[in-house]
Structure 1
Amino acid sequence: MTSRIHPTAIIDPAAELDSSVTVGAYTLIGPQVKIGAGTRIGPHCVIEGRTTIGADNQFYQFSSIGAMPQDMSHGGEVTELVIGDRNTVREFCTLNTGTFKEEGVTRVGSDNWIMAYVHLAHDVQLGNHCVLANNATLAGHVHVGDWAVIGGLTGVHQFVKIGAHAMIGFQGHVSQDVAPFMTVDGNPLAVRAVNLTGLRRRGFSNERIAVIRQLHKLIFRSGLTLEQAVEQITALRDEQAQDAQADVQLMLDFIAGAKRGLVR
């Protein structure tokens, strides 16, 4: 293992690193850290706290991973940061551990692309295959679904939920929940269209996209109340093939769980 670790790196003897982990110069790794096979840690990183990192991740220089939450009510309780596999974390990112206001864990899934200066606050739950552009800032307890894209310089208010396959444009001010499949931008933030480019890149059929466009029309363009739209969407679900039914159900579940109101 020593051949893969720069001699200036400081690694606590209690840390658990797979023998294939690479650690760059002047990086500091604390005693409660676990790092899986093939992960590469760049120079000048600090990885601390009860942090578990999976396989084949790459962390670029100058990131702070696993520091205590920036929460004034946090009493020093031991909480966690859990990161999956094959994530890329670019320069100057800050990923904090959780608080006991939820389950005490900040979670990052797998296959995410996290660009420079991104901040993930305590109790953030980031899904899989997400893209967070430079300076995206997620406050505490933000939940992000799979395949979401968050534009550069975007700020996301605490407790907001961002649905799967959603896209948030540059400099978004996100204080309400963003529905799955939708593209939002502007100030004030508004739904502009279905995220067609993203869905097509992920292999959604024309039939599935047509149903999602119906969801968009019912919720955001019809003038219906949200309750009326949900009634029509529920009826629409039962007429669809299996894949499209799952898409409709995803939207219904998201609306049912929305606590801060939908961006419309």
Structure 2
Amino acid sequence: MVSQTTSIHKTAIISDGAKIAEDVEIGPYVVIGENVSIGRGTKIGPHAVIDGVTTIGENCNIFAGAAIGLPPQDLSYKDAPTGVIMGNNCTIREYVTIHRGSKDPMTLLGNNCFLMNYSHVAHDCKVGNNVIMANGTTLGGHVEVGDFTVFGGLVVFHQFVRIGRFNMVSGNSGTRVDLPPFALTDGRPLYVRGINVVGLRRAKIAANVRSAIKEAYRLLYRSDLNMANACARIEEEIEQFDEIKEIVNFIRGSKRGVARGNLGNSYDLSSEEDGRAD
């Protein structure tokens, strides 16, 4: 079903079952599968391919050569009817690949995400809202990414890794373990280097909450406590804002372990440049 107000180039191939909403623009040589739904106002550039049981939200901008909803790179996949769900207002640049689910029904991408050239989101990933992935960012299967996370270019994540909200990840890096929320992470492998104060301020997180986050990370990464004891101290000594509970629950819920602090070459959590909470 194609809306009458949609613009489709004559070389595009649109399967009969595809649902194309109003004011969609589809460029030359685009291929859209029969189980695909495209939301209102979305633009799809030349040679893009969208397949699987895939839903693209409204006002997305998908550039040339992007491939969304193709089968996963998973030897156990047996042609299950899976796909991708993409939110609204996403920008998908040239040659990005987002694979359909393998064991979970859907790979998920939230609203207002910006995926730069050659980024890859593997099967069964769950990417939150307002996430930015710079060129060449690669997420292995089943990776979970929290809202407002920003990835530098050429970073690689092992399958099943979790990245907490408001994480700022340095480029040319990678990890096999989880990255906690509200952190600056850098190095290879990635270490926790400080608090993402700029991101928290932009999100209008209150100063007293930012100070509590800083104190929580001081106990986690600047004390002699192990993670379990540090979490217990955080619950005893720090006011239990939702963000503090989020940090503790994230760490206790980790199955792969949590990134360490690089004490040999670390930023000062209390310094004005990167750790000041006020």
Q: TM-score, normalised by structure 1?
A: 0.94
Distance 1:151 1:257 in 2: 26
Distance across 2 between alignment mates of 1:188 and 1:139:
16
The match for 2:208 is: 207
Percent identity, please. 40
Distance 1:31 1:260 in 2: 38
Is the aligned partner of 1:177 residue 2:178? yes
* Aligned partner (choices 234, 245, 249) of residue 245 of structure 2: 249
- C-alpha separation in 2, matches of 1:3 and 1:17: 8
Aligned equivalent of 1:84, options 77, 84, 87? 87
Q: CA deviation at 1:80?
A: 1.8
Aligned to 2:17: 14
Structure 1, gaps ≥5 residues long:
none
Deviations 1:139-189 (A, max 9, x none): 000000001111100000000000000111011111100000011111232
Q: Distance in 2 between matches of 1:191 and 1:90?
A: 29
Question: What pairs up with 1:68-217 in 2 under 5 angstroms?
Answer: 68-100=71-103, 103-217=104-218
Amino acid at match of 1:261: G
1:58 equivalenced with 2:66 (yes/no): no
Q: Does 1:259 align with 2:262?
A: no
- For 1:37 and 1:158, the matched residues in 2 are separated by 33
Equivalent residues of 2:6, 2:23 under 8 A apart: no
Q: CA 1:236/1:39 → structure 2, altered by over 3 Å: closer, same or farther?
A: farther
Cα 1:3/1:192, change in 2 over 3 Å? closer
Partner Cα separation in structure 1 for residue 231 and residue 169 of structure 2: 23
- Helix, strand or coil for the counterpart of 1:50? coil
Distance in 2, matches of 1:64 and 1:219, equals: 41
Whether the aligned pair in 1 keeps the contact of 2:175 and 2:188 (CA below 8 Å) is no
RMSD value over aligned CA atoms?
1.2
In the comparison of the two structures, how many residue pairs are matched?
Answer: 257
Amino acid in structure 2 at the alignment position of 1:27: V
> Which digits, 9 at most, give the CA deviation of each residue in 1:126-148, with x for residues without a partner?
00011111000000000000011
**For 1:76, what is the secondary structure of its paired residue?**
coil
Instruction: Determine helix, strand or coil for the equivalent of 2:54.
Output: strand
After the TM superposition, list the runs of 4 or more consecutive aligned residues in structure 1 that deviate by more than 2 angstroms.
none
Aligned to 1:82, the other structure's residue is in SS state strand
CA distance in 2, matches of 1:79, 1:235: 45
Q: Which amino acid aligns with 1:97?
A: R
Aligned residue for 1:107, secondary structure, equals strand
Q: Deviations over 1:176-206 (max 9, x none)?
A: 0000001111123211100111111211222
Describe the SS at the equivalent of 1:255. Answer: helix
Question: Distance between the aligned counterparts of 1:213 and 1:12, measured in 2?
Answer: 53
Q: Distance in 1 between matches of 2:230 and 2:198?
A: 25
